[in-house]
Amino acid sequence: MPPSPDHIRATAQAYLSRHPGEQSLLDSLFTALDDMQDPTHRRNFPAHVTCSAIVLDATDRVLHIHHNATGKYLAPGGHVEKDDQDLVHAALRELREEAGIPHDAVTPLPGFEAVPLDIDVHGIDANPAKGEPAHQHVDFRFVFRLTAPHAVTLQTEEVSGYDWRSFQETAAPTVRAKLALLARPARS
């Protein structure tokens, strides 16, 4: 069974307790939580929940993978599936599927075990071939540290390259800003 609306609401509220100024950004999420039985289902419009894994290596570089669908380098992530027990596990599953990094090779940053580093709401263009209207993804972005050396093994059906970037060069501006707030002495 996918993550429940109650779990999603509690996770979003924990996030907002850290970032109260982002309340209005999440209006579409709370509307979806009030109106839908499964706000994670990819056929729920005008918005549904997705999850991503922000992965830092030992030198605080951030993993980016080249998504074939968008042509962009982004964090591993995507739609929640019916067997995902919660949002964190959805992000970890996407990390394993798209980059070949198993859950036991990463650990959440302290304080982010169940709270995302970032929640991003972004528009998705209509896709007539899939019968999808324009809609929004509400992307819960969880942050992990790579704790064991592990090669990136790409799922070539969805991704076609990867790059480790300094946190200052992270593709998502909101992630970049939030990582800067977590600055450690080891960062350059």
pLDDT score recorded for residue 148: 86
Instruction: Please tell me the distance from the alpha carbon of residue 114 to that of residue 140, in angstroms, as a whole number.
Output: 11
pLDDT score recorded for residue 184: 54
- 93 burial type by CB count under 10 A (0-12 exposed, 13-18 middle, 19+ buried): buried
Report which residue type is found at 35: D
Which domains can be identified in the chain, with CATH numbers?
A: 5-127+134-181 (3.90.79.10)
> What pTM did the predictor assign?
0.92
pLDDT score recorded for residue 188: 42
Average pLDDT across each block of 10 residues of the chain; the chain has 188 residues. List them in order: 92 97 93 84 88 95 91 93 95 96 96 97 90 92 93 87 92 92 59
Sequence-distant (6+) residues with CB within 8 A of 17 are: none
pLDDT score recorded for residue 32: 84
Sequence-distant (6+) residues with CB within 8 A of 136 are: 28, 46, 47, 48, 121, 122, 123, 124
